[in-house]
Amino acid sequence: MEIISLPALADNYIFLLHDSQKKIAAVIDPADHKPVISKLEQLQADLVAIFNTHHHHDHIGANQKLIEKFPNLKVYGGIEDRGRIPGQQVFLQDGDRVEFANRTAKVFFVPGHTRAHIAYYFPPVTPDETGELFCGDTLFAGGCGRLFEGTPAQMVNSLSKLRALPDHTRVWCAHEYTLNNLRFALTVDSQNNDLQKRFQEVTAMRQRQEATVPSLLGVEKKTNPFLRWDNYSLQLTAQTHDPVQTFAIIRKMKDQF
């Protein structure tokens, strides 16, 4: 399974999963149909599935156009998004499995950003390979999604599920927000040496116009304040020892950043 990252809109990423042997592809959160169709034509591949993480327009904006061009494809999304994702045929719940290119992904129900958000995790095939996490807007490189329809407690629970995955999991989040996320992270976790080093690395990458996605989950665990609600220095910043309150306060600070 080859993963191809397609930049779209202002700062979105669309992810195309390609099976070169069967000449088929699946797409995750297609914001715009044009780069998807262009890449499919280049690969001479047939689109068989859309995997949506949630209903926001910059994640489902191309569904209808892609369905028109590939009428036999299947559209997957969370069961709680029924009626909000164009063309949805498969309604997924926590713990469900989806298959593509002889790989099986586990579905996580991760509400917080929206009430219906899901994520897809493909475990590694062999111990020395990476797992692949497609987390939409729940977890970002250096950050997490705004709480539009969920509560801090829900988001902490959702992020806990993702944080429990192996360190060598690649995090395929849907936006290029990393540099600004790390700028904020330094304001709440300024003594974190790993974070300081990462900020310098990401600054250099963006100056070269390189993508910072995917990131590694092990790096997120060390540097992302929204995975560190139980860390003493973050609790000191939030002036509370309650993990959910720590997360809520830091999320509110980010909203105003």
Residues 42-97: pLDDT tens digits? 999 999 999 999 999 999 999 999 999 999 999 999 999 999 999 999 999 999 99
The one catalytic residue among 19, 58, 81, 96: 58
The one catalytic residue among 59, 96, 117, 189: 59
pLDDT at residue 106 in the model: 98
178 has pLDDT over 90: yes
Q: Which residues contact 186 (CB under 8 A, 6 or more apart)?
A: 192, 195, 196, 199
pLDDT band at 22 (very low <50, low <70, confident <90, very high): very high
The one catalytic residue among 18, 33, 55, 175: 175
Residues 58-67: pLDDT tens digits? 999 999 999 9
pLDDT at residue 128 in the model: 87
| Catalytic residue flag (residue 57) | no
Residues 130-161: pLDDT tens digits? 999 999 999 999 999 999 999 999 999 999 99
| Catalytic residue flag (residue 59) | yes
pLDDT at residue 127 in the model: 84
| Enclosing domain of residue 208 | 2-255
The CATH number of the domain holding residue 242 is 3.60.15.10
pTM of the model: 0.96
pLDDT at residue 17 in the model: 98
CA distances from 153 to 53, 55, 156, 178, 205 (A): 20, 21, 5, 24, 34
113 has pLDDT over 90: yes
> In total, how many domains does the chain have?
1
